[in-house]
Structure 1
Amino acid sequence: MKKMLHARIQKHLSTPRAQLILINLLTCGLEVCLAAGVTFVPPLLLEAGVEGKFMTMVLGIGPITGLLIVHLIGSASDSWTSRYGRRRPFIWLMCVGVMVSLIIIPYSSHLAALLGGHHTGIEVAFLVLGIGLLDLCGQVCFTPLEALLSDLYPEGESCRRAFSVYALAVGLGACIGTLLPAVDWSDSWLAKQLGGQEQFLFILLLVIFTGCVIATFFVSEELKPGTVQVEVPGDHPVRKGPCLQACQLWTFPLRAWQLVLTLRSVCALFPRLRTFCCKVPVTLWRLFVSQLCSWMGLMTFMLFYTDFVGEGLYKGVPIAKPGTEDRLRYDEGVRMGSLGLFLQSVVSMMFSCSMDHLIKMFGTRAIYVASIVCLPLATIVMCFSSSITVVTISAAMTGFTFSVLQIVPYTLTTFYHHNRQMFLPKYKDAGGYNNVTEKERKTGFHKDTPNGVSLFPSHTPPDCDAAVTVAEPSTPKHGICLDMAILDSALLLSQVVPSLVMGFIVQMTQTVTAYVAVAAAFGFIAIYFSNKVVFDKSDLVKLTAL
C-alpha cells in the first residue's frame, strides 16, 4: 500500500505542472528573503554604527560581486555534468549562501562577541558579510533557475507560460517579503526566546526558504543536449528502464573522462568568457541593451522611491532626531512609499497571471514596448504631481513594466536558442546544439535520465536496455544559462550605477525629484532600444538588410 501511494505521489510530482510549481516555490522563497531581508538592512547598519553615506556602498557589494561571477556560474552550468543535472548543483550552492547569510545578519553581534576584541568593528564586518552574501547569492541564484525553466519548457507557448508563473512567483514573494517586516513580532513568545523582532524574522525566513529549497529535490531535470545512443551488446533479455551505472561497468572510464573534461572546461572559463563577449550575436546584444536601459530606469525608481516620497511629498528630514515633527513626516512618507511598492508587486502579479492572454491578443512586440512606455509616463507624472494618491497609483502602474521584464526577455532568449541557426549564428559549435535532433530539442521532461534525476525517484528495480543513453564527452561552449547570465547582469548593473551616481546628482540639483526624473530619462532611452529588439524573422531580415 505504501509503495502504491509513493508511486502515485511520484507520478503526480513528475507532471509538468507540478514541476513548474516546485521550481517556482524556490523563486518565491528567494524573493521573500531578498525583499524582507533588505528591509532591515538600513536600521541594522545604523545600530551597528555605520554612517549613512556608507550605506549605498554596502548595498552595492552584492550586485558588484554578482557581476563578476554570474557569467562564470552560467558558463559552468552549461558544461556541467552530474547525476543531479546541470542547474541544480549551482542552485543549491547559492541557496547555501543565502541560508548562511540569514543566520549571520541577525546574530552578527553575538558572533562578534564570541570572537571578542573590538566588538563594534567585528560586528559591522559580520553584518556587511551577511548583507553582501544575501544579495550576491540571492540574485545570482535566479540565473540557473531561469535556465532550468528554459530547459524544461523550450517551446514558445509553454515557455511563455512558465515565465509568467515565474514572474507571478517573484511578485508574490515581493508581497510576502514586504508584509512580513510590517508585522510586530516582538511581543510573541518565540521572538522573545530568539532575541527580538529581527532575530525572529530572519529565523522565519530561514524556515520558509529551507522548505522551498527542499522542493527542488523533487525536480527532474532535462535530458542533456548532445546525447547519443550506444548499442550495448549482451545476452541479457531486453527490459525497460535505464541502469547504465548498475549494469555496465565498462562505462566507468567514460565517466572519469567526462570528469576530466568538466574540470578542464571550468579552468578555461575566463578566456572563454573574453572570447564570448566578442562573439555575442547582434540579436542578443540588442536585447541586452534594451534590458539594461529598462532595468536602469525601473531600479532607479524602486531604490529611491520611498526616499522621494518621504522628503519630496511629505517634506520630512531623514537625519532629524527621532520623535521630531520632521522625522515623523519622513517616516510616514516612507510607509506610504512602501505601500506604493507593495501595490507595484500586486499589479505585477495581476499582469503575470494574464500575460499569456495579453500576448496572444496584442503580440509580444506590442506588450513589450507598451510596458517600457509605461515607465517614463508614470515617472513624469510623479515629477509634476504633489498628490500622494496620484503618485501612488503611478508607482503601482510600474508593476506592468516589472512583470514584462521578468517574462518577455527570457522567452525571447529561449526562442533564439530554439532557432539558434537563424538567430544565433555565431554559436555554431562542433558537437554543440546543432547536433541535437529536433525531437531532443522539443522534449522537455525526461524523468529518469543519467544527467538529471530527482533526488527521490520511484523505487523500481534496475533494468538493462540493449540501447542506453550516455552523454557525449563534448559539450556546447555556449549554452542558454550563459545567455541568461547576460540578461541578469543587466539587472545587477542597474543596481550598481544608480547607487554610485544618484547621490551626486541629488546633491547637485538639491531636490529628490531628480530620482524619478533620471528614471524617466532612462525610460525614454529604453523606448528607443526596445524598438531595436529582434522579435521574429521579419526583424532579422530587416537587420540583415542593414
Structure 2
Amino acid sequence: MGGETTSQQRRVPLKRLLRVASVSCGVQFGWALQLSLLTPYVQELGIPHAWSSLVWLCGPLSGLLVQPLVGHTSDRCTSRFGRRRPFIAGGAACIAVAVLLIGYSADLGRVMGDSGTHRPRAIAVFVVGFWLLDVANNVIQGPSRALLADLTGKDYRRTRVANAYFSLFMALGNILGFATGSYSGWSSILPFTATSACGKNCANLKSAFILDVIILSITTFISLSSARETPLNTSFRTTGLESQTESSSEEAFLWELFGSFRYLTSPIWVILTVTALTWVGWFPFLLYDTDWMGREIYKGAPNQGQNYHSGVRMGAFGLMLNSIVLGAVSMAIEKMCRKWGAGLVWGISNILMAVCFVGMLVISLVASNLKPSQSGLPPDGIVISSLVVFAVLGIPLAITYSVPYAMMSTRAEPLCLGQGLAMGILNLAIVIPQVIVSVGSGPWDQLFGGGNAPAFAAAAAAAFVSGLIAILALPRSRVAKKTTIRR
C-alpha cells in the first residue's frame, strides 16, 4: 500500500522478505526469556504466586491501546524513514532499556535502600521494566507485521509466506531465548553480573538479558536496512488508493477504531472470535509453563531449595523443544493451508492444543500421587512426558503465530483498512482475553489450592471450542480459490 506500491509491483524478493522478518527473532528472544524466567523471578522477589499474574496485566492492557494506536499512526506516518521503520526502531530501543531495568532491578533496589529479603524497591523497578517491556513489544509487533503486509500487497500467497517467515524467526528467537534461560552457568561466563544483591539465579537472568540486547540490535539493523520504504507524502502524489485509505483514517483514533467494528464482515468476526478463544487457551500456559514444571513436576517452591529452579530450567528446555517444532511447522504452513484450507488447519491445531493441556492435567495428577525419590527429583518418565507435551504444543503455536494474521490481512484489504490498523483490530481479540486471564487466573488457581490446574482446565476448554468454530465457520474453498487465482 502507499509508500510500498512500487515495491509491490516489482514483487519484493523472498530473500528480502526473509531479512525484513528477522526482527522477530530479536524480539522473540527477549519474549522467550520473559516467558520462561520472569514469573519465577517475580516470586523470588517476594510477590505471591496468586498475584504474580497481575504483573503480566500490562501486556494486554498496553496491547489494548498501544498496538492499535501505533498501527493506526504508522498507517499515516510521513517520516522520511518510512511508515513502519521509525516505530520498529523506537520499540527496539525501549525493549533494550526495559530488559536492562529488569536485569538490574535487584541491584538498583539495593542502591535505593533494600536490605535482606525485603525488596520493595527492587519489585518497583522490576515492575516498571516489565511494563515498559510489554509496551515496547506492542509498539514493535504491529508495524513489523504491517511492514510485511505492505511489501507483499494483495498477493495472498506471498502474504502467507511472509507471515511464515515471521513465525520462523519467532521460533528461532524462542529457541535461542529458551536455551539461554535453561542454562545455569551464565554467572560464570559473565562474572560481573553477580553482586551482593544479585545471586546466581539473578545473575543468570541478568546475563541472559544482556545477550538479548545484543541479538535485538543485530536483527533490528538487518530488518530495517533491508526494508525499502518510500515516505508516505511521496506516495500521496503517486497513488490514489493511499489517499482513499488516508481520508478514511482522519477521524479521532479510539472511537473510530471501535466504530469500525460495525463494518467488519462475518468472516472477520469469526477470525476475531476464534483468535480470542485461542488466546484464552494460550495465555495460562505462557504465564505458568515453567512455574508448572517447577511446582507440580519438581515439587519445589521459590526461595526454597533448588528443586524449583531445576524445574524452571527444565521447563525452559521444554520450551526450546517447543520452538524447534514451531520453526519446522512454520515452513509447512503455507502448503497445509493451500491444500486443506486455513480454517481447517487452524481448527485442528487448536483441538490438538486442547488435548495437550488435558495431558498436562493428567501428568500433574500422576506426579502428585508419586512418592518422591531419594534425590528429590521426579521420575524420568514424568519429565519426559512433560517435555513431549511442551514440544507438541509447538505445532498449534506455529499456526497461532501465522494463520490468523495472514487471514486478517487478506480479508481487511477490501475494507480499505490500513494494515497497521487491521493488525491493531486483531490485537484487540488477543489482549482482551489476556486481561481476563491475568486478572482471574491467580485467584482462580488459589481458590482450588494454589496450583495451576484450574487455569489449564479452562484453557483446554477454550482451545477445544475455538477449534470447532474454526473448522465449522471459517470458509475453506474460498481461501483455496483465491490462492489459485493469485498463482
Q: Residues 369 and 527 of structure 1 are in contact (CA less than 8 Å); yes or no, is this contact kept in structure 2?
A: yes
Larger Rg, first or second structure (1 or 2): 1
Q: State whether structure 2 residue 75 is matched by structure 1 residue 78.
A: yes
Q: Residues 29 and 209 of structure 1 are in contact (CA less than 8 Å); yes or no, is this contact kept in structure 2?
A: yes
- Find the residue that maps to 1:360 and give its secondary structure: helix
- Find the residue that maps to 1:396 and give its secondary structure: helix
Aligned partner of 1:254 in structure 2 is none
Among candidates 511, 516, 530, match of residue 456 of structure 2:
516
Q: State whether structure 2 residue 468 is matched by structure 1 residue 528.
A: yes
Q: State whether structure 2 residue 422 is matched by structure 1 residue 483.
A: yes
Rounded to whole Å, the distance in 1 between the matches of 2:205 and 2:360 is 33
Rounded to whole Å, the distance in 2 between the matches of 1:186 and 1:83 is 43
Gap runs ≥5 in structure 1 = 1-13, 231-257, 421-426, 428-432, 434-477, 541-546
Aligned partner of 1:131 in structure 2 is 130
Rounded to whole Å, the distance in 2 between the matches of 1:30 and 1:534 is 33
Q: CA deviation at 1:40?
A: 3.9
- Find the residue that maps to 1:186 and give its secondary structure: helix
Aligned pairs for 1:122-521 (under 5 A) are 122-154=121-153, 155-183=155-183, 184-188=185-189, 190-192=190-192, 196-218=203-225, 219-221=227-229, 227-229=236-238, 268-314=252-298, 316-318=299-301, 322-323=304-305, 328=307, 330-385=308-363, 386=366, 388=382, 389-418=384-413, 420=414, 427=415, 433=416, 478-510=417-449, 512-521=452-461
Q: Which has the higher helix share?
A: 2
Rounded to whole Å, the distance in 2 between the matches of 1:39 and 1:390 is 19
Rounded to whole Å, the distance in 1 between the matches of 2:157 and 2:403 is 12
1:143 alignment partner AA: G
Q: TM-score, normalised by structure 2?
A: 0.79
Aligned partner of 1:452 in structure 2 is none
Q: 1:282 to 1:356 in 2, by over 3 A?
A: closer
Q: CA deviation at 1:25?
A: 1.9
List per-residue Cα deviations over 1:455-484 (Å, max 9, x = no partner): xxxxxxxxxxxxxxxxxxxxxxx3121111
Q: 1:384 to 1:16 in 2, by over 3 A?
A: same
Q: 1:84 to 1:23 in 2, by over 3 A?
A: same
Q: Residues 102 and 130 of structure 1 are in contact (CA less than 8 Å); yes or no, is this contact kept in structure 2?
A: yes
List per-residue Cα deviations over 1:9-63 (Å, max 9, x = no partner): xxxxx96234223222211000001112454434553454444444222122232
Q: State whether structure 2 residue 21 is matched by structure 1 residue 20.
A: no
Q: 1:163 to 1:58 in 2, by over 3 A?
A: same
Rounded to whole Å, the distance in 2 between the matches of 1:482 and 1:533 is 22
Aligned partner of 1:97 in structure 2 is 94
Aligned partner of 2:375 in structure 1 is none
Rounded to whole Å, the distance in 2 between the matches of 1:357 and 1:384 is 34
Q: 1:16 to 1:34 in 2, by over 3 A?
A: same
- Find the residue that maps to 2:229 and give its secondary structure: coil
- Find the residue that maps to 1:221 and give its secondary structure: coil
Counting aligned pairs with the same residue, the percent is 26
- Find the residue that maps to 2:331 and give its secondary structure: helix
Q: 1:300 to 1:197 in 2, by over 3 A?
A: closer
Q: 1:410 to 1:38 in 2, by over 3 A?
A: closer
Mean CA deviation greater in 69-78 or 101-110: 101-110
Q: Residues 101 and 134 of structure 1 are in contact (CA less than 8 Å); yes or no, is this contact kept in structure 2?
A: yes
Q: Residues 364 and 535 of structure 1 are in contact (CA less than 8 Å); yes or no, is this contact kept in structure 2?
A: yes
Rounded to whole Å, the distance in 2 between the matches of 1:45 and 1:159 is 39
Say how many residue pairs are matched: 435
Rounded to whole Å, the distance in 2 between the matches of 1:358 and 1:498 is 31
Q: TM-score, normalised by structure 1?
A: 0.71
Q: 1:394 to 1:415 in 2, by over 3 A?
A: same
Gap runs ≥5 in structure 2 = 1-10, 196-202, 367-380, 482-487
1:532 alignment partner AA: A
Q: CA RMSD in A?
A: 3.4
Q: Residues 80 and 262 of structure 1 are in contact (CA less than 8 Å); yes or no, is this contact kept in structure 2?
A: no
Rounded to whole Å, the distance in 2 between the matches of 1:538 and 1:56 is 38
